[in-house]
């Protein structure tokens, strides 16, 4: 487990006000899970991830990783612990004068690994990340996705227990992003690595993460299981991220636009999770109750732990019948919110 307690980073300035980039963060990350940290630019997430391996020095707090307090290590101890922490970057950070093979071998050279052992390890990693046949290519001869695969292989060279990903897919096109995310999931499953993903894209979170923390102004404002955060976002920032992948625009949503067109009935928001996404709830309601149902807006998306969908409907009919239909929905596994009485 990674335990982060009261972690803060304050940048001091003589001529301006101090800047608090990370503000008193507490997080627990389970071994072997993929944990996402999401926030907009300036939220403090990149500073946060650099604090974990002390590329940035914390102002306050503790980071317990691999059963060591990262904030209380000597320089020699820190060098040893960093070998157990891999890191991949947004812009790859490859050595452009070295081949794919030599880029991946570089951390092994620094660690003093014998040549034959290095060769065997690098070849194993090249196979793992899908770069077989490109060992002698230079970075300039590779696509963006291939460059990131080199970065991932290099980060795995010293058999780390933790992999830090700082906006690792934000420079890639959507299809390549999905390919790299699939690779990270595969690595997580094969090697049992704990992976911490920093991103501003909710698509990344929903596709591969089990847990997520939402950052804003240096603070963690919301955290939990990805599916739970999707279903019940508490903070405005979180709701905006969820809307990214659900295709909802606040100013165009049924709550703010459709409901004013109805003189009776109720606008409902239905949440479908996992197997409930396959339930024919609308047809059952129409058959069972004397109500009219108008579908206003809906969407479904896939998270790592199952499908999540929302459906806005306007239900009209005699008030007592509408209320009975609502009670019927509440007895199913479909979650329901009455958005507004029309």
> Are 223 and 309 found together in one domain?
no
- Which residue range is the domain that position 17 belongs to? 2-244
DSSP state of 151: H
pLDDT band at 125 (very low <50, low <70, confident <90, very high): very high
> Are 187 and 39 found together in one domain?
yes
- Out of 244, 262, 283, a domain closes at 244
Tell me the three state secondary structure of residue 26.
strand
Q: Does 170 have pLDDT greater than 80? A: yes
pLDDT of residue 251: 43
Pairing of strands 194-199, 162-166: parallel
> Are 290 and 174 found together in one domain?
no
> Are 240 and 287 found together in one domain?
no
Tell me the three state secondary structure of residue 57.
coil
The rounded percent of the chain whose pLDDT value lies above 90 is 59
**Global pTM exceeds 0.85:** no
> What whole-number distance in Å separates Cα of residue 250 and Cα of residue 254?
9
> Are 182 and 278 found together in one domain?
no
Name 115's Cβ contacts closer than 8 Å, sequence gap at least 6: none
Mean pLDDT of 294-312: 78
Least confident of 69-78, 97-106, 140-149, 257-266: 257-266
Tokens coding 245 = 């992948």
Tell me the CA end-to-end span of the chain in Å, nearest whole number: 49
> What whole-number distance in Å separates Cα of residue 94 and Cα of residue 76?
25
> Are 160 and 25 found together in one domain?
yes
Tell me the three state secondary structure of residue 12.
coil
Residue 154 sits in a domain of what CATH number? 3.40.50.300
Residue 282 sits in a domain of what CATH number? 3.30.70.260
The side-by-side arrangement of strands in the sheet containing 335-341 is 292-303, 306-316, 266-273, 335-341
> Are 231 and 291 found together in one domain?
no
Average pLDDT, the chain: 88
Higher pLDDT, 171 or 255: 171
CA distances from 311 to 229, 308, 336 (A): 17, 10, 10
> Are 299 and 227 found together in one domain?
no
- Structural domains of the chain, count: 2
pLDDT tens digit string along 71-122?
999 888 998 888 899 999 988 899 999 999 999 999 999 989 999 999 999 9
> Are 234 and 256 found together in one domain?
no
Angle formed at CA 8 by CA 6 and CA 11, multiple of 5 degrees:
165
pLDDT band at 249 (very low <50, low <70, confident <90, very high): very low
> Are 100 and 214 found together in one domain?
yes
Strand ranges, E, within 217-327: 219-225, 266-273, 292-303, 306-316
């Amino acid at each position: 487990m990674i335990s982060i307690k009261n972690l803060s980073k304050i940048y001091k300035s003589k001529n301006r006000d101090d800047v608090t980039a990370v503000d008193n963060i507490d997080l627990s990350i389970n071994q072997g899970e993929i944990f996402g940290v999401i926030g907009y630019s300036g939220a403090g997430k990149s500073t946060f991830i650099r604090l974990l391996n002390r590329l940035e020095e914390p102002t306050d707090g503790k980071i317990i990783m691999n059963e060591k307090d990262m904030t209380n290590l000597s320089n020699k101890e820190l060098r040893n612990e960093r070998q157990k922490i891999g890191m991949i970057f947004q812009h790859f950070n490859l050595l452009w004068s070295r081949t794919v093979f030599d880029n991946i071998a570089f951390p092994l050279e620094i660690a003093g690994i014998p040549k034959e052992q290095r060769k065997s390890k690098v070849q194993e990693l090249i196979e793992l990340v899908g770069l077989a046949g490109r060992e002698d290519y230079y970075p300039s001869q590779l696509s963006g996705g291939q460059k990131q695969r080199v970065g991932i292989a290099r980060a795995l060279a010293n058999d780390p227990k933790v992999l830090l990903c700082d906006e690792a897919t934000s420079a890639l096109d959507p299809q390549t992003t999905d390919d790299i995310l699939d690779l990270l999931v595969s690595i997580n499953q094969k090697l049992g690595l704990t992976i911490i993903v920093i991103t501003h894209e909710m698509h990344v979170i929903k596709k591969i993460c089990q847990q997520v923390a939402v950052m804003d102004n240096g603070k963690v404002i919301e955290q939990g299981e990805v599916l739970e955060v999707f279903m019940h976002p508490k903070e405005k920032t979180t709701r905006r991220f969820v809307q990214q992948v659900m295709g909802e625009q606040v100013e165009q949503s049924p709550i703010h636009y459709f409901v004013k067109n109805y003189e009776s009935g109720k606008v409902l928001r239905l949440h479908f999770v996992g197997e409930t996404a396959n339930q024919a709830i609308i047809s059952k309601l129409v058959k069972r109750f004397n109500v009219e149902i108008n579908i206003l807006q809906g969407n479904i998306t896939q998270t790592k732990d199952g499908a999540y969908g929302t459906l806005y409907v306007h239900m009209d009919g005699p008030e007592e019948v509408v209320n009975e239909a609502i009670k019927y929905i509440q007895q199913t596994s479909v979650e329901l919110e009455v958005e507004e009485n029309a």
